[in-house]
């Protein structure tokens, strides 16, 4: 009799353990930093359910990862473990050279892969399209979170990042894009560069933490893998992931504004098709609050299928945390197209300026070369900060 009881309990545990299993993969320096930050936040989650991997061509960067993140080095024949020198063609070649080894990352039984990469450098920009394609060909579910470089990093980087993103999104169920530039909407003006990156990483990690808590923590109204799968079903979707923190006495208008108007995303929460939101609070929330949030969502996304969850957390003294994950067919196309147009415009401008210069000044080849060298030196100086791992950047404060 006793054994039977045990068996039943085991079965129940087995059921819970069968819940979604997620692997989070950070690609390149920035991707690794974000995954490292997230893994620290989620260290209490069992690695059976969620594990963290950082893949890079730069072995030094992999060495600085916390123990909670597993490092995976690739392309050593090409890069000698020294990184790509910001060359995304090398990043791509490095990944192609190691396809068979990379496939091993996807062979364990995982329900969902979350890719995180800061586009604009060599490794993330070049290798991410290769990795997500492998995952797609293996029939896996994946969502991606990508940052775009600051505009002051130059047009070349932004072009490379957007070009890579165009390819990446073809292979993913859903993807989300955070322009680093958006940091200016939440940071103080005098913020240092490294603090700005860390702030963005931590904001993003907090959203992801909310999503993972939603999936793994038991709720009064529970959201499970089937629900998440419904949200991310399909291809090339745009994802909207955000969180809002409030007091149970807070004004509902403000809460929904925080939730549905992310300061770090370029696109608004509009015309979503599938929406999941989860409310975590110390006690049972008023039905009024839930229905108000739901109403606001419907207002902005009238055709959305809405799934909601409720979680009680005694540690939340009068606090509420809401996490939202939504997907839409199109939203992101608008800003990206806009951006492309801007780039094209800039291009035309540059060409024009060059033509004028051509007629008026006609620089000597030597002068041009000298200018090129100077601008390359400046670029190198500006970019050297990215080579510094996040934890060192923090120490540099
Ligand atoms: N949000 C965020 N962006 C970062 C971070 N580190 C770098 N970036 C951005 O990501 C771009 C690419 O930098 P890395 O991720 O270091 O480049 P990589 O993919 O490792 O490529 P290589 O080092 O050139 O081989 C930079 O231009 C920055 O805009 C970070 O920790 N957080
Ligand atoms: Mg790097």
Q: Find the 5 Cα to ligand 2 centroid distance in Å.
A: 53
Residue nearest to atom 1 of ligand 1 (CA): 197
Q: What's the confidence (pLDDT) of residue 375?
A: 61
How close are the terminal C-alpha atoms of the chain, in Å?
A: 62
CA–centroid distance, residue 119 to ligand 2 (Å): 11
Find the 56 Cα to ligand 2 centroid distance in Å: 7
* Residue 212 shares a structural domain with residue 231: no
Query: Each residue of 292-311: pLDDT tens digit?
Result: 999 999 999 999 999 999 99
Domain assignment present for residue 348? The answer is no
Q: Which residues surround ligand 2, an ion (CB under 5 A)?
A: 29, 58, 83
Same domain (yes/no): 195, 229: no
Tokens matching residue 260:
């549905």
The residue written with tokens 């992101």 in the block is 332
Residue 248 lies in a domain: yes
For residue 201, the model assigns a pLDDT of 96
Pocket of ligand 1 (CB under 6 A): 28-30, 33, 57-58, 83-84, 86, 91, 118, 120-124, 147, 149-150, 153, 157, 180, 197, 200-201, 386, 390
Intervals of the chain under pLDDT 70 = 1-18, 284, 330-397
- Report the pLDDT value the prediction gives residue 337, as an integer from 0 to 100: 40
Q: What pLDDT is recorded for position 282?
A: 85
Say what the pLDDT of residue 286 is.
75
Check if the beta carbon of residue 194 is closer than 8 Å to that of residue 393: yes
Of the listed ligands, the closest to the CA of 125 is 1
Nearest CA to ligand 1 atom 6: 30
Strand duo 319-328 + 112-118: pairing: unpaired
Q: Tell me whether residue 251 is in a domain.
A: yes
Residue 378, pLDDT score: 63
DSSP, res 280: E
Residue 104 domain-assigned?
yes
* Domain annotation covers residue 56: yes
Task: Select from 303, 328, 353 the last residue of a domain.
Answer: 328
The 10s digit of each residue's pLDDT in 166-224 is 999 999 999 999 999 999 888 987 899 899 999 999 999 999 999 999 999 888 889 98
Q: What is the DSSP string of 330-363?
A: STTHHHHHHHHHHHHHHHHHHHHHHHHHHHHT--
How confident is the model at residue 128, as a pLDDT? 98
Q: Residue 164 is part of a domain; what is its CATH number?
A: 3.40.50.1440
Structural domain count, the chain: 2
Do both 211 and 302 map to the same domain? Answer: no
The ligand 1 atom at the shortest distance from the C-alpha of residue 204 is 1
Spacing, Cα 170 to ligand 2 middle (Å): 24
Distance 14 CA to ligand 1 centre (A): 40
Helices (H), 146-286: 155-170, 193-216, 225-232, 252-260
**Contact between residue 282 and residue 312 where contact means Cβ atoms under 8 Å apart:** yes
Which residue has the CA at smallest separation from atom 5 of ligand 1? 30
Shortest-distance Cα residue to atom 14 of ligand 1: 29
Going through the chain in order, the beta strands assigned E by DSSP cover 22-27, 50-56, 69-73, 112-118, 142-148, 174-179, 237-247, 274-281, 305-312, 319-328
Q: Is residue 212 part of a domain?
A: yes
Residue 132 near residue 172, CB atoms below 8 Å: yes
Question: Which of 25, 26, 27, 28 has the most ligand 1 atoms within 8 A of CB, as the residue to mutate?
Answer: 28
Does 98 lie in the same domain as 41?
Answer: yes
How many angstroms separate the alpha carbon of residue 84 from the centre of ligand 2?
Answer: 7
How far is ligand 1, taken at its centre, from the CA of residue 284, in Å?
42
Same domain, yes or no, for 243 and 174? no
Q: Do 194 and 240 share a domain, yes or no?
A: no
In terms of residue numbers, what domain contains 318?
Answer: 225-328
Structure-token pair, residue 229: 């799968």
Which atom of ligand 1 is the closest one to the Cα of 383?
Answer: 27
On whether both 253 and 104 belong to a single domain, the answer is no
């Amino acid at each position: 009799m006793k054994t039977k009881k045990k068996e039943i309990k085991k079965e129940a545990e087995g059921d819970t353990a069968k819940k979604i299993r997620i692997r989070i993969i950070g690609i390149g320096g920035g991707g690794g930093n974000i995954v490292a930050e997230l893994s620290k936040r989620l260290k209490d989650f069992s690695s059976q359910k969620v594990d963290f991997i950082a893949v890079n061509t730069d072995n030094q960067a992999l060495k600085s990862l916390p123990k909670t993140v597993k490092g995976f080095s690739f392309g050593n024949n090409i890069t000698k473990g020294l990184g790509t020198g910001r060359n995304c063609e090398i990043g791509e070649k490095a990944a192609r050279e190691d396809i068979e080894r990379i496939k091993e990352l996807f062979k364990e039984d995982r329900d969902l892969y979350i890719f995180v990469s800061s586009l604009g450098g060599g490794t993330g920009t070049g290798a991410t399209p290769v990795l997500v394609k492998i995952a797609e060909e293996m029939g896996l579910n994946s969502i991606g979170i990508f940052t775009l470089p600051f505009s002051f990093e130059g047009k070349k980087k932004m072009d490379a990042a957007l070009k890579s993103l165009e390819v990446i999104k073809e292979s993913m169920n859903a993807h989300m894009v955070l322009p680093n530039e958006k940091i200016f909407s939440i940071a103080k003006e005098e913020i240092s560069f490294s603090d700005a990156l860390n702030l963005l990483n931590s904001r993003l990690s907090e959203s992801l933490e909310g999503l993972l808590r939603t999936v793994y923590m038991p709720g009064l109204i529970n959201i499970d893998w089937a629900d998440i799968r419904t949200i991310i079903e399909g291809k090339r979707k745009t994802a909207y992931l955000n969180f809002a923190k409030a007091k149970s006495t807070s004004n509902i208008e403000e809460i929904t504004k925080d939730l549905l108007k992310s300061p770090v995303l370029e696109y608004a929460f509009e015309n979503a098709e599938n929406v999941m939101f989860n409310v975590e609070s110390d006690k049972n929330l008023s039905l009024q609050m839930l229905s108000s949030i739901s109403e606001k969502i419907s207002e902005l996304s009238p055709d959305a299928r809405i799934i909601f969850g409720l979680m009680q957390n005694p540690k939340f003294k009068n606090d509420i945390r809401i996490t939202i994950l939504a997907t839409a067919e199109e939203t992101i196309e608008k800003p990206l197209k806009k951006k492309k147009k801007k780039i094209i415009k800039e291009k035309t401008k540059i060409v024009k300026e060059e033509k004028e210069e051509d007629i008026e000044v006609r620089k000597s080849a030597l002068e041009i070369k000298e200018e090129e060298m100077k601008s390359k030196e400046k670029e190198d100086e500006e970019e050297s900060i990215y080579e510094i791992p996040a934890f060192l950047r923090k120490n540099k404060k």
